[in-house]
Structure 1
Amino acid sequence: MTIYVDADACPVKDEIIRVGERHQTEMLFVCDGGLRRPNSQWARLVIVEGKLDAADDWIADHIGAGDVFVTADIPLADRCIKAGAIGIDPRGKLWTQDNIGASLATRNLMTDLRETGAVTSGAKPFGPKDRSSFLDGMERVMRAAAAKKA
């Protein structure tokens, strides 16, 4: 099992490292540059250059069944789920086969509404409650991934 992190704008990198170290699990922080190497023997920084979604493509190309992913990117979450991985977003929302379709549809609708000017607000600011929800959810994801591997 490996934890893949869509790291460019991830607000829970430190929490991922804590959980990954506790579970002694390899972590790959994938980005397009500008991040420092995570300070953990279990973590590696993967810098992917190229087109806009190069980091997403790299994750989708390397992730597999039983792996774990952390991303707020709904299309990437969909690709990872299709590869058999288990995931969570930085606010603690579990990505599942049951909810990814609705999440994609909502994302696409909101994109269309923003383009027409009907919606101008974005997500609420990330806060301590989100961080706590993430940690709780990440532990559940790690247990589920371990059970899936067994």
Structure 2
Amino acid sequence: MSGINAFGTQLKRGDGATPSEVFTAIAEATGISGPGLSRETLDVTSHGSPDGWMEFIGGLKDGGEVSVDINYQPAEHDALVDDFEDNDPRNYQLVFPDPDETTWSFKAILTGFEPDAPYDDKLSASLTFKVTGKPTLS
């Protein structure tokens, strides 16, 4: 059998403390995606490229974004609105529910906080984080 049930995946927010930073799960997450890693390519094609095929080398890498949908609890999540005002990146961890608790650690800036309050459904919000620097996988 292959695959892992995603239930239990957590996005954790660091408190910035030193020397021992504490990470707390962002409550009520209903969906998490990212980081969306990508890489630029640099065109190095020349008049001498074999058989007229374009050639490329790897360029700069981008950690992309992490998106989180939550059941919005204002009292629980309003600290995240404060993060939106902060220009400095914060440490986050994306922890998967596999036996090894595989973890992506990264710095990010909250770039989007969008509450949604439909008359016929739950109060929710979508959060977007821009990853800065290199995410690490452990």
TM (norm. structure 2) is 0.23
Instruction: Pick the structure with more helix per residue.
Output: 1
